[in-house]
Amino acid sequence: MEFNAIYVIVAREFKKFVRERSRLVSAIARPLVWLFLVGAGMSRLVPPVDGVSYMQFIFPGILGMTILFSS
């Protein structure tokens, strides 16, 4: 397997991603919107369970969702 070829493709795609400002902004803004708007709204309705707030509960899911849907 040619790891050099894989590296070149990944580097090229990363450069394209960084150059496209709209994709970069949406990749950063979407998880923040989920965390602060949805998380803050739901945290008022859901009481903490065993000392874990809803924001702490939802954070790993938002992180996973961001990784899954941005790739």
Chain centroid offset of residue 71 CA: 10
CB 38 within 8 A of CB 44: no
pTM for the full predicted model: 0.66
Q: Return the pLDDT at 71.
A: 64
Q: Which residues contact 55 (CB under 8 A, 6 or more apart)?
A: 35, 39, 40, 43
Retrieve residue 21's tokens: 């400002």
Q: Return the pLDDT at 59.
A: 93
Model confidence pLDDT, tens digit, residues 17-70: 888 888 888 888 989 999 899 988 999 999 999 999 999 999 999 999 988 887
Q: Return the pLDDT at 61.
A: 93
Q: Return the pLDDT at 6.
A: 92
pLDDT at residue 15 tops 80? yes
